[in-house]
């Protein structure tokens, strides 16, 4: 994201927001929005809030009557789903496969592995 922002000479301050710190930051970010600041959540790995941080912030913003806008962006999940040829009138997304090989193998080896 930083490379793209630099390319377009966008100098907005960036702050990391990820799985390991989102619970600790969500209250402060909502307070900033209530004070009139605008916040954008961007991701280098997909779409925020779909197996990516962002859900907690969106939920808290909505609970505080803060308007949330969604701008579609690049994501691997939706194009892969479309290209699969599956009937898309109904589908279930349970998240991405675990990053560790041993855990992925357990995922595929039996019912309810996770």
**Residues 42, 8 contacting (CB under 8 angstroms):** no
**Residues 21, 57 contacting (CB under 8 angstroms):** no
pLDDT digits (tens, 9 = 90+) for 70-95: 876 666 777 777 777 777 778 777 77
Question: Does the predicted model carry a pTM greater than 0.75?
Answer: no
Helices (H), the chain: 2-7, 22-34, 55-63, 77-83, 101-109
The closest of 75, 13, 77 to 40, measured between CA atoms, is: 13
pLDDT digits (tens, 9 = 90+) for 20-71: 999 999 999 999 999 999 999 887 766 777 767 788 899 999 999 999 988 7
Q: Would you report the helix, strand and coil content of the chain in percent, each value rounded to 5?
A: 40, 0, 60
**Residue 68 in tokens:** 């949330």
Q: Three-class SS of residue 26?
A: helix
Amino acid 72: pLDDT: 67
């Amino acid at each position: 994201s930083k490379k793209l922002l630099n390319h377009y000479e966008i100098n907005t301050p960036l702050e990391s927001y990820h799985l390991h710190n989102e619970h600790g930051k969500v209250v402060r970010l909502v307070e900033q929005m209530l004070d009139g600041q605008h916040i954008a959540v961007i991701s280098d790995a997909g779409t925020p809030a779909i197996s990516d941080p962002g859900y907690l912030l969106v939920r808290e913003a909505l609970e505080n009557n803060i308007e949330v806008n969604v701008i579609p962006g690049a994501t691997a999940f939706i194009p892969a789903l479309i290209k699969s040829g599956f009937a898309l009138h109904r589908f279930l997304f349970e998240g991405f496969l675990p990053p560790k090989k041993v855990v992925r193998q357990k995922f595929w080896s039996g019912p309810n592995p996770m």
